[in-house]
Amino acid sequence: MERKPDLGILKVEVVTHPADSELIGHLLSSFFNTLTTVVVDDPDQVRVCAFRPALEDGADILRRFQEKCDEMVRLGYLIQSPSVSLTLLDLEEAFWFPSFPPLLIGRTLAIVMDASTPTPPDRIRLTITGAGGFGTGHHPTTRLCLVLMEQSPIASKVILDVGTGSGILSIAAAKWGAATVVATDLDPCALSSARYHAAINQVGNAINFLQSDLAKAVSGSFDLIVSNLSAELVKDLAYQIKEKNLLTETGIWIGSGFTSRQWSEVHRLLTRLGYEVVTTETEDDWQAFQAVWAGNSLKRRKK
């Protein structure tokens, strides 16, 4: 029987602003049903790449992807409309990725994409490949969550990560010594990515991954809840936390994933539901908050 020639690999390459790279990666994963990787060219530009078997020309998907990116720019979720290209590669070409320097976050974390990248000896090393999940550390909202988590008591605490994506927040919590970590996501691909990242960071046994629409399938109470979600999902989660009594009396909720323009609406709802915002942080017009139950901030400080 005559052997059919290899079809090759389609490479989708998106050149974009570094702050847009995580959302672009998430969109690429959704549109092309494949894994993504981020290549940092310089401080002002990154390339987000996706690869899939060349079973089709991909032109229609590429057109719809570009339209979605343009829409996200209009809505304010992306800083600029990216440049998108499609290339047919042979198998040998397709899987060579240059590495990039470690991303240093806060006082203690260093995030890398591969095992060969060296990190400072005084930093906790997290390996996040960027494959199939939102959260490599390059987007401001992920960094804001990690910085606020670093400032919070985590060692020996019970942690809930809602919308875990790549698993980066859960993995950081486990590395910081959390007693128990529960991580949820509705997307099974994201959960697979998070489990993979937990395994390569040697904390797979420390995190309980759960498929859930936000916290609907979660039970128990948590000392710290973290969520990197859109404004609408944060508001939905605020109701779920209150109705299910998920946050302990002296617990902390750290949230991000929305812009500063959306914060006032989120803040009003949190206040109405009985939360007290004790800290806010911003980066590049993205917002993060740290909240407790109203009236309990003094108790938490005295504890």
Separation CA 73–CA 25 (nearest Å): 15
Is pTM beyond 0.85? Reply is no
pLDDT tens profile 261-287: 899 999 999 999 999 999 999 987 889
DSSP string, 219-269: -S-EEEEEEE--HHHHHHHHHHHHHHT-EEEEEEEEEEEEEHHHHHHHHHH
Q: What is the dihedral of CA 76, 14, 201, 212, to 10 degrees?
A: 50
Q: 204 and 289 share a domain?
A: yes
Residue 166: band (very low, low, confident or very high) from pLDDT cuts 50, 70, 90: confident
| Residues 166, 297 within the same domain | yes
Mark whether 295 and 153 lie in a shared domain. Answer: yes
End residue of a domain, out of 94, 128, 147 = 94
Identify whether 177 is part of a domain. yes
Q: Among the listed ranges 106-115, 130-139, 255-264, which one has the minimum average pLDDT value?
A: 130-139
Question: Is pLDDT at 56 greater than 80 in this prediction?
Answer: no
- The stretch 16-27 carries a mean pLDDT of 80
Residues 58, 160, single domain; the answer is no
Residue 204 lies in a domain: yes
The DSSP symbol for 148 reads H
Please give the DSSP secondary-structure letter assigned to residue 18: G
Cα–Cα dist 11/55, whole Å: 12
Contact between 145 and 173 (Cβ < 8 Å)? no
The answer to whether residue 229 sits within a structural domain is yes
- Among 94, 118, 153, identify where a domain stops: 94
Among 29-38, 75-84, 241-250, 284-293, the range scoring the smallest mean pLDDT is 29-38
Shared domain check, 58 and 197: no
Confidence of residue 48 (pLDDT cuts 50, 70, 90): confident
Residues 170 and 246 in one domain: yes
In a domain, 104, yes or no: no
- The region, left, alpha or beta by phi > 0 then psi within -120 to 50, assigned to residue 297 is alpha
Q: Are residues 154 and 278 in the same domain?
A: yes
What is the C-alpha separation between 34 and 51, in angstroms, rounded?
A: 7
- 88, part of any domain: yes
Has residue 226 been placed in a domain?
yes
Least confident of 26-35, 45-54, 86-95, 185-194: 86-95
CATH number for the domain including 199? 3.40.50.150
Q: What is the rounded distance in angstroms from the CA atom of residue 177 to the CA atom of residue 67? A: 43
Average pLDDT of the chain is 84
**Host domain of residue 33:** 9-94
CB 70 within 8 A of CB 81: yes
CATH assignment of the domain containing 33: 3.30.70.120
d(CA 163, CA 161): 6
Q: Hey, what are 152's tokens?
A: 């919070």
Domain boundary among 24, 59, 94: 94
Distance, in Å, from the CA atom of 142 to the CA atom of 19, rounded to the nearest integer, reads: 10
Q: What tokens does 15 get?
A: 């050149």
pLDDT per position as a tens digit, 59-108: 777 888 888 889 888 888 888 888 888 887 664 554 444 455 788 899 99
User: Does 1 fall in a domain?
Assistant: no
Torsion sign over Cα 103, 109, 115, 121: positive
**Total of domains in the chain:** 2
At 145 the three-state DSSP class reads helix
The answer on 54 and 151 residing in a single domain is no
Q: Are residues 204 and 281 in the same domain?
A: yes
Q: Which tokens belong to 299? A: 């108790």
Answer yes or no: do 174 and 268 share one domain.
yes
| Residue 27: φ, ψ to 5° | -65, -40
DSSP 7-71: --EEEEEEEE-GGGHHHHHHHHHHHHTS-EEEEEEETTEEEEEEEEE-SS--HHHHHHHHHHHHH
In this structure, what token pair is assigned to residue 251?
């617990």
Tokens representing 297 are 């901030």
Same domain, 200 and 269: yes
129 part of a folded domain: no
A 10 A CB-CB count for 197 gives 29
Across 88-92, 148-152, 190-194, which has the greatest mean pLDDT?
148-152
156 and 260 fall within a common domain: yes
